[in-house]
Every structure is written in C-alpha cells, then in structure tokens.
C-alpha cells in the first residue's frame, strides 16, 4: 500500500498581464491559503518520504508559505514535467519513482491533479470525497489517496481510494471563492 498526497498551488496573481504563466506569484489570498494549508497538514501528522513539485513560481511560493506555517522546511525534488501536466504524464512520473517511498506529496497544477484523482479513484458511488472533486478542486486544496500497489511501477487506473480532502475554505470561509473566481 502506497500513499499519495496532492497539493494544488495556492491562488496566483493575475494583475500583471505581461507575466508568463510560469512566473506568476501568489496573490495575498494565496499566501493566506498556503499558510492555512500548511497548518492543516501539520495538524494531520502526515509525513512524506518524497516531495515532488512543479518549479513554477506559484508552486514554489506555495511550498515556502506552507512550510513556514508547518514550521519545517522540506527537501523538494523539482520536476518541470509536473508543470501543467496531464494525468497520464503524472502517472508516468510516479511510475518512475526510485527508492520505493511509501508516501509521496506531489505539488502542482490543475487540471492534471484533479484528473489524476479521477483516474486513480473509481467512480463507483462509494466516495463522497471524489464527488467533491467533481464539483471543484480549488487552489491550495490538499488530498490524500491510498493506493493498492506495492511498487510505484504498478500504478494504474482505479487503484486508489481518496481518504482525505481539505480545501482552504474548509479552514477559513474567507479563503473561499469570490465573484472573480
């Protein structure tokens, strides 16, 4: 059994229309959301043997702010393939993991992370959390799946169970959607 946690980057700043997508930083709400999620993850007492992340600025800043709230910095493996990746690409990346870590935290972007949940967790009507993902997997959302595999190379569709999901608005209603979202 493996554990895969996903964290979508926090809310980014769209105020500079000239900025490349890759270079967009967090906005003020994103900073608050990343910190709230860092505090939440700390409260779960979950640990991760590996943390892999997109090198996009908004992901790096999400990690930085969440780590401050968590009270601990973590070694991150930056992988450009995570940036705006499809679910298929993310599955391939996970299958390539070396060292067989029991628990992995992947930090990246939608729609790839959301689609990864849809591909790994069966749509059999038994997971209300999966139904929540179908509604929306907003920025700074954290999800945890248990995977019925012994080796990452065996990762395949419908091998997962979504066991936890927390959105920033679940922690603080002020971090929920606004009219601009």
H and E: helices and strands count for the chain:
6, 6
> What CATH code would you report for 2-10+23-175?
3.40.50.1240
C-alpha span between 8 and 138 (Å, rounded): 8
pLDDT given at position 126: 80
The distance from CA 173 to its chain's CA centroid, rounded to whole angstroms, is: 20
Phi–psi pair at 74, nearest 5 degrees: -125, 145
The answer to whether 38 and 66 are in contact (CB under 8 A) is yes
Preceding amide of 111 cis, omega within 30 = yes
pLDDT given at position 155: 97
β strands within 20-178, DSSP E: 50-53, 77-78, 103-108, 142-147, 160-166
Domain ranges of the chain: 2-10+23-175
List own/partner pairs for 122-131 with CB under 8 A and 24 or more apart. 122/158, 127/161, 127/162, 129/162, 129/163, 129/164, 129/165, 130/162
Q: What is the pTM of this model?
A: 0.95
pLDDT given at position 39: 96
- Here the tokens at position 44 are 């779960």
The answer to whether 44 and 18 are in contact (CB under 8 A) is no
Q: What is the pLDDT along the chain (181 residues), one digit of tens a residue?
A: 999 999 999 999 988 777 899 999 999 999 999 999 999 999 999 999 999 999 999 999 999 999 999 888 889 999 999 999 999 999 999 999 999 999 999 999 999 999 999 999 999 888 889 999 999 999 999 999 999 999 999 999 999 999 999 999 999 888 887 655 5
């Amino acid at each position: 059994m493996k554990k895969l946690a996903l964290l979508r980057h926090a809310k980014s700043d769209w105020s500079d229309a000239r900025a490349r997508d890759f270079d967009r930083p967090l906005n003020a709400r994103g900073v608050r959301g990343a910190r709230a999620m860092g505090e939440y993850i700390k409260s779960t007492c979950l640990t991760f043997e590996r943390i892999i992340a997109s090198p996009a600025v908004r992901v790096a800043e999400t990690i930085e702010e969440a780590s401050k709230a968590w009270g601990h910095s973590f070694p991150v493996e930056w992988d450009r393939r995570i940036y705006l990746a499809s679910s298929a690409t993310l599955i391939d990346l996970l299958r390539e993991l070396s060292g067989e870590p029991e628990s992995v935290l992947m930090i990246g972007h939608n729609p790839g992370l959301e689609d990864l949940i849809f591909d790994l967790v069966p749509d059999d009507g038994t997971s209300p959390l999966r139904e929540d993902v179908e509604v929306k997997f907003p920025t700074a959302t954290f999800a945890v799946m248990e995977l019925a595999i012994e080796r990452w190379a065996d990762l395949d569709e419908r091998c997962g169970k979504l066991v936890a999901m927390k959105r920033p608005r679940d922690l603080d209603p002020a971090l929920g959607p606004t009219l601009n979202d």
